[in-house]
Amino acid sequence: MLVIAENLSVRNKAYMQAVKANDRKAIESMAKDLADRGADLINVQCSTDGSGDERTLPLVAEIVQKASGLPLCLDSRNLDALKKAVALCNEPPIINYISADEENTDGILGLVRDSKANLIIRALKSTVPTTYEAKLLILDELIERVNAADIPNERLFADPSLIHLSEGMGQENLLNSHECIIALNELIDPPINTIVWLSNISAGLKSPLKPHVNSALLSYLAGAGLDAVLLDVTQTETMKTVYMIRAFRDEVVFSPADLS
143, 194, 222, 252, 256 from 249: Cα distances, Å: 27, 16, 10, 8, 16
Mean pLDDT for 166-185 is 89
Predicted pLDDT of residue 260: 81
CB atoms within 10 A of CB 132: 22
Residue-range definition of the domain harbouring residue 48: 1-89
Q: Does residue 84 sit in the same domain as residue 100? A: no
pLDDT at 200: 92
**146 & 256 share domain:** yes
- Total of domains in the chain: 2
Average pLDDT value for residue range 90-96: 97
Nearest to 181 by CA among 132, 145, 232, 147: 132
- Single out the residue of 70, 11, 76 nearest to residue 41, CA to CA: 70
Cβ atoms 97, 120 nearer than 8 A: yes
Task: Give the pLDDT mean for 89-109.
Answer: 93
Question: Which of 89, 104, 126 marks a domain boundary?
Answer: 89
Mark whether 2 and 109 lie in a shared domain: no
168 & 55 share domain: no
The reported pTM is: 0.96
Please check the confidence at residue 230 and state whether its pLDDT lies above 90.
yes
CA distance 244 to 226: 14
DSSP string, 57-80: HHHHHHHHHHHH---EEEE-S-HH
What mean pLDDT is predicted for residues 167-189?
A: 90
Do residue 72 and residue 124 come from a single domain?
no
pLDDT band of 103, cuts 50, 70, 90: confident
DSSP-derived secondary structure letter, 162: -
In angstroms, how far apart are the furthest CA atoms of the chain?
Answer: 51
Average pLDDT over residues 225-248: 97
Examine the pLDDT at 94 and tell me if it is beyond 90: yes
**What CATH number did the domain enclosing 103 receive?**
3.20.20.20
pLDDT number for residue 254: 93
68 and 102 together in one domain: no
Q: What is the pLDDT of residue 91?
A: 96
- Domain stop point among 89, 111, 144: 89
Question: What mean pLDDT is predicted for residues 91-120?
Answer: 94
Query: Same domain, yes or no, for 120 and 237?
Result: yes
Tens of pLDDT, residues 52-82: 999 999 999 999 999 999 999 999 999 999 9
Examine the fold and report which residue of 61, 89, 117 is the final residue of a domain before the chain moves on.
89
CA–CA distance from 224 to each of 21, 111, 188, 201, 231 (Å)?
42, 31, 14, 17, 18
Q: Do 67 and 174 lie in a common domain?
A: no
- 48 & 73 share domain: yes
Return mean pLDDT, the chain.
95
What is d(CA 95, CA 91) in angstroms, rounded to the nearest whole number? 12
112, 30: one domain: no
Same domain for 118 and 196, yes or no, is yes
251 shares a domain with 125: yes
The dihedral sign for the CA sequence 161, 162, 167, 168 = positive
